[in-house]
């Protein structure tokens, strides 16, 4: 008859256990140790602290291993990491049974914030050497991640103005009541104290509105003023826009950054420049969704020699919905610097003007035979005749449209989703990273690259586990 298995707390070991016996040979903690031991931390800019008096410092490599493995286990708080170092077998193994306190862990992160970015670059180089990156096709994408500061406690101009009006009304009423009470001299009256509290609150609200006005913003959190309001699937929240460029071969992230821009329109070229800085070149093709479409960015990419394929869905949709006289149906004659309408009439250059929705000037071309045109009101409601605004980046957009006529380029756009989006899915589901634990743009940039490094290490670990990669 079998017996139930129970713990025997009086059992003794003949020999004390070795640290090496605590983990299996292919445990992720062993991989983390090999990766960090292979790094030249001093060359990466890590502070190598040496204390001549008192208790010795914790080594930089030990603390880096703790942070890396902690993030892998979704532990991103220095206090929780301190606790885990005493309870988590893998962390006990990584630290050699040393137990760094939360102050040491946080000080290491704060002092080496810039150097931590170098860890990400090292993961890219290791992945490249392991054959996980080929730079044939890269995909660019972004995601909004909530700021550490609470959206509920942010200042909102409209709400503050409404609250200020309510306080002004209450203060007026309170002052009248005080004056009436003084006239009647009806004994002790406690409203002046309440009046002072309301007046103090009013001054705070007025001060908040002044700060919002000075910065030209409609919302802001006083503890994290750099975090703007972002549109997310859960509604508007304080947050930052995290960007990543993913290589198609194995899903390795080759570049990452964080911006306060609420959309991706201006991120195409900056991210490609980041890739070039890290890899020494850009991919043979980089694909991006329609959120990155910008004639200005396409032109800059062309001048820099960056091959890109950007989804033009919004352009095609506008053309389809625009009818037979949409501007796309007008042909530009570069030799004569004029436009030809669908009926063959010419629109002549009339000057340069500033576009109401753009930061740059556009060239205007206007029809001169509108009065005789039988379709003038179908073409335009402008009494002076149809006007076409030509962007200085029109040729860049046209080049992109012609490029996407190739089936191979159109196929790349369909592949974009399966290249880039799994990386963000792993960030939010595998690592459960949905909110920054740091505050401020530069700090969240360091944290994002650290998270990207973890994703890359996950890819490299698979090769290391199969015995196909030696790090040390």
Percentage of the chain beyond pLDDT 90 is 40
Position 18 pLDDT exceeds 80: no
Characterise 126 by phi-psi region: left (phi > 0), alpha (psi -120 to 50), beta (else). Answer: alpha
CA distance 428 to 232: 14
Per residue in 54-68, pLDDT (tens digit) is: 677 888 899 999 999
Q: Which CATH number fits domain 137-147+228-311+404-456: 3.40.50.11600, 3.30.300.30, 3.30.420.10, 3.10.150.10?
A: 3.30.420.10
pTM: 0.84
Q: Calculate Rg over the CA atoms of the chain.
A: 31
Per residue in 295-325, pLDDT (tens digit) is: 899 999 999 999 999 998 777 777 767 788 8
Per residue in 118-149, pLDDT (tens digit) is: 999 999 999 999 999 999 999 999 999 998 88
Structural domain boundaries in the chain:
19-111, 137-147+228-311+404-456, 155-220, 314-391
Q: What is the CB neighbour count within 10 angstroms for residue 201?
A: 15
Position 106 pLDDT exceeds 80: yes
């Amino acid at each position: 008859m079998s017996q139930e298995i129970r713990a025997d707390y009086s059992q003794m070991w003949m020999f004390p256990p070795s640290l090496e016996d605590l983990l299996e040979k292919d445990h992720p903690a062993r991989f983390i140790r090999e990766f960090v031991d292979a790094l030249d931390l001093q060359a990466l800019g890590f502070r190598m602290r040496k204390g001549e008096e008192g208790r010795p410092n914790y080594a930089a490599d030990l603390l880096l291993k703790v942070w890396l493995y902690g993030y892998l286990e979704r532990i991103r708080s220095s206090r929780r990491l301190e606790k885990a170092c005493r309870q988590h077998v893998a962390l006990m193994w990584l630290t050699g049974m040393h137990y760094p306190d939360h102050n040491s862990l946080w000080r290491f992160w704060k002092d080496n914030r810039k150097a931590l970015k170098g860890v990400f670059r090292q993961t890219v180089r290791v992945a490249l050497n392991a054959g996980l990156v080929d730079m044939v096709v890269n995909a660019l994408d972004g995601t909004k991640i909530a700021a550490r500061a609470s959206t509920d406690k942010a200042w909102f101009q409209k709400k503050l103005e409404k609250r200020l009006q309510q306080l002004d009304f209450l203060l007026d009423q309170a002052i009248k009541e005080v004056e009436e009470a003084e006239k009647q001299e009806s004994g002790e009256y406690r409203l002046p104290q309440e009046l002072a509290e309301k007046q103090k609150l009013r001054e705070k609200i007025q001060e908040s509105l002044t700060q919002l006005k000075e910065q030209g913003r409609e919302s802001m959190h006083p503890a994290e003023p750099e975090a703007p309001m972002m549109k997310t699937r859960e509604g508007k929240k304080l947050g930052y826009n995290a960007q990543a460029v993913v290589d198609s071969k194995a899903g390795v992230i080759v570049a990452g950054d964080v911006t306060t821009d609420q959309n991706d329109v201006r991120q195409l070229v900056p991210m490609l420049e980041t890739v070039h800085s890290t890899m020494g070149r850009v991919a043979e093709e980089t694909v991006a969704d329609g959120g990155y479409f910008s004639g200005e960015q396409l032109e800059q990419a062309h001048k820099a020699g960056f091959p890109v394929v950007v989804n033009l869905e919004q352009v095609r949709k506008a053309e389809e919905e625009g009818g037979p006289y949409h501007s796309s149906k007008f042909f530009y004659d570069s030799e004569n610097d004029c436009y030809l309408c669908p009926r063959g009439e010419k629109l002549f250059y009339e000057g340069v003007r500033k576009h109401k929705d753009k930061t740059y000037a556009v060239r205007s071309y206007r029809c001169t035979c509108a009065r005789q045109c039988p379709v003038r009101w179908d073409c335009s409601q402008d009494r002076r005749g149809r006007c076409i605004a030509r962007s200085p980046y029109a040729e860049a957009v046209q080049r992109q449209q012609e490029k996407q006529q190739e089936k191979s380029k159109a196929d790349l756009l369909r592949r974009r989703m399966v290249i880039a989006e799994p990386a963000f899915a792993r960030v939010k589901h595998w690592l459960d990273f949905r909110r920054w634990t740091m505050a401020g743009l530069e700090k969240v940039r360091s944290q994002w690259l650290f998270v990207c490094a973890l994703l890359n290490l996950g890819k490299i670990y698979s090769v290391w586990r199969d015995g196909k990669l030696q790090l040390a």
